[in-house]
Structure 1
Amino acid sequence: MTPRSRPAGAPRSRRPSAPGGSGPGRGLRRRQAGRQELDYRSELSVLLDDRDTGQALIGQLLPLKEQFAGTAGGAYATRPLAHALADLYLLMGERPPAADAYALAERVAHVWDSPHHVAAARRRAARLAGS
């Protein structure tokens, strides 16, 4: 039966998962990888002083700022995305939003029970306040 010939209200049939993962959970894995990629791209943008990329990444990170990159069952987590956002704000010379984002990164890390990320966000916030 094609989707158009299915009776109205009838559930869609489940197709078997293809090798390599197109079944349940695939979207979740793609989103996790996407968040990790955003974090990595943010770090590279800061390291390379790439302001154009940094500005573009800020817009992509804003809706995700309260999340950890690569969590929700992922085997590897980088850091709170708010930390990456704060670093990008600093790259752009926007100190008040950077301070707010470091504070958010600390709260997110605390919720995820990640003391080393809490400490990292505090260090960056203190460095920003002292400069």
Structure 2
Amino acid sequence: MKFSLLITSSPFETTQHESALRFAKAALADGHTIQRIFFYKDAVIAANAMTTPPQGQTSAFQDWQDFSKQTGVTLHACIANSLRRGIVDSTEAERYQLIGSNLGSAFSLVGLGEMTEVMSDSDKLVQF
């Protein structure tokens, strides 16, 4: 089965990112495919390479980076939600004349059209 994940909550306010990561790992272990993971609303905060959790806490950013690197699963962050939260890649940083980018290397900024593609390319869309 081909799954895509939609994550909408902040990595700081709920455990939805941890649940989504566990689900994705379990699905892959069971032989399923994860088409892509789409971060929307406050979930895009996980794409910010400049966040650092308090000592002793896990980093949603690092967890997703590691997952993508190990599995090759694509991580997409909604560009509109990312821009509103100050998360930019080098192209957007240049466009808006910002001092630099802070989008994690495993993430890409995409529009809502990508979200519709997520739904049509997958057998199941699971929201966290």
- TM, length-normalised to structure 2: 0.31
Structure number with the higher helix fraction is 1
Give the structure, 1 or 2, with the largest relative contact order (CA under 8 Å, sep 6 or more).
2
Larger radius of gyration: 1
What TM-score, normalized by structure 1, do the two folds share?
0.30
